[in-house]
Amino acid sequence: VKADALRGHLDVLVLAALRGAPAHGYAVIEELRQRSSGAFELAEGTVYPVLHRLEAEGLLTSAWSVVSGRRRRIYRLTRRGGSVLGAREAEWRQFAAAVEAVLA
Amino acid sequence: MSYLDELAKELTRVGIRGRLRSRIVAEAADHLADSDVVSFGEARTIAQRFADELATAQSRRAALAAFAALAVAGVGFAGAWLLVAPAGGWPDVFSAEVVGLGVAASLGMLVCPQVAFAAGLLTLLCAWRLRRLAAAPAAEVSLLLRRTRTALGFGVAAMLSLALYALEFRAELAGWYTLAVAIGGVALTVPLAAVAATVRRTARLRTVVPGEAGSVFDDLPVELPRRPWVLCLGVAAATAVASLVAGGADEGPRNAVVEGALVVVCFAALGRRLGLRGP
C-alpha cells in the first residue's frame, strides 16, 4: 500500500497502534509494520508529524522517559483519543463493508 | 553535514524553531539509533510534513481559542453596556473630555464588537470545516489565520474602546463604573493578546499544500446560491429588521438604517480579507 493511499488513514492507524499500550515513535512504526505484515510503504519519519499533530489536537499526550537506558518520547492515547478512535473505527468498518458489498 | 543537522536546518526553513525543533531532532536521533536515514525519509520532506500538519492543527486550535476568548470578552462587554444605566445613563457623545476621543470610543463600541463577532463566527465555521484534514491547503490555513487575526484585532479594539469610553465620560458616569470598566476592558484584552501570539507563531510555519481556500458558502451548513453580494444584502436586511424590532418606534428606524449600512460597509471593506467575496 503506497504512502499516498495511506495518508487519509494514518491517524486512525496510529491511534490504533497506541491503543494497547503507550509507545515511542519507532515502536508505533514497528507495530504498524507487524500488524499489516509489512504492507504499508511509508517513510518512517512521516509518522512523527502525525504523532505531533494528534498530540496538538489532544488525542495523544507524550513525555520523555528512559527506556532501557535510552531517553525516548513516549506517546499515550488520551480519553478523547480513545473515543475518536472508536468513532473512526466504526466509520471505517461501515465504509469497508459497503465497498466489500459492491465488489462482491 | 549530518542528517540531523540537515533536519534541523530544514525545520528552521519551514518556520519550526526553539524547543519544538530540538524535540523533533531528539526524537529523530532516537529513532535513527534503531533505523537508517533512507528508511526515515528525506529531511526536507519530513520537515515540510511537520510544517503542513502542525500549521493545520495549530491554526484550528488558535481559531477555537480565539472564539472562546472573544466570548469571555463579549460577556464582559455586555455587562459594561448594561451597567451604563445604573452608572448614570448614556452621556451625550459631545460631553467627552476630548470630543474626538469620545466620538471615536463610541464608534468603536458600536462597530468593533459586531465585526469581531462576525469574524469570530466565520473563523469557527472554517475551523469546523477543516476539522478532518490532516494537512489543509496553505490557502485555507492562511484564510483561517486571517479571519482569526481580524476577529482578535476587532475584539481588542472593542475592549480598548470601552475602556476609553469610560475614561472620556468619567465626569458623567459613576466612579465605580469608570474604574471597573477601565480595568476590566484592559484585563479582557490579555486573553485576546495571548491567542494573537499563538496565531503569530503559527503564521511563521511555511506550508506548501496545494489547493484553493474555500469561501463562506463552503463554510455555511446550508446550501445557498454563490452570490456574495446577495448574501451581504440578505444579512443587512435581516440585521435591519432585527434592529427595527428591538429599537421600537423611537429608535428602531434609525438603528435599522445604521446597522444595515454597517453590514454593507464592513462587507465591502473586509469581504476579501475574510474570504467572503472574490477579488
User: Residues B217-264: pLDDT tens digits?
Assistant: 988 888 888 899 999 999 999 999 999 998 887 888 988 999 999 999
What local confidence, expressed as pLDDT, does residue A84 receive? 95
What local confidence, expressed as pLDDT, does residue B195 receive? 95
Distance from CA of B29 to the nearest CA of A (A): 10
Greater model confidence, A24 or A9: A24
Please give the Cα distance from B44 to B183 (Å, whole number).
49
Distance from CA of A55 to the nearest CA of B (A): 9
Judged by CB atoms closer than 8 Å, whether chains meet at A46 and B46 is answered as: yes
**Model confidence band, residue A3 (pLDDT cutoffs 50, 70, 90):** low
Report whether A29 contacts A13 (CB < 8 A).
Answer: no
Low-confidence ranges of chain B (pLDDT < 70): 279
**A56, A72, A73 member nearest B58 (Cβ):** A56
Please give the Cα distance from B158 to B239 (Å, whole number).
20
What local confidence, expressed as pLDDT, does residue B279 receive? 64
Q: What is the ipTM of this complex?
A: 0.89
Give the orientation angle of helix B138-168 with respect to helix B43-82, to 10 degrees.
Answer: 30
CA B12, B16, B19, B21 torsion: positive or negative?
A: negative
Comparing C-alpha atoms, which of B192, B166, B194, B189 is closest to residue B179? B166
**Residue A25: pLDDT above 90?**
yes
The three cell numbers of residue A50 are: 502525525
**Residue A8: pLDDT above 80?**
no
Judged by CB atoms closer than 8 Å, whether chains meet at B40 and A56 is answered as: no
Greater model confidence, A5 or A48: A48
Query: What's phi and psi for A71, nearest 5 deg?
Result: -85, 120
Comparing C-alpha atoms, which of B161, B51, B71, B53 is closest to residue B123? B71
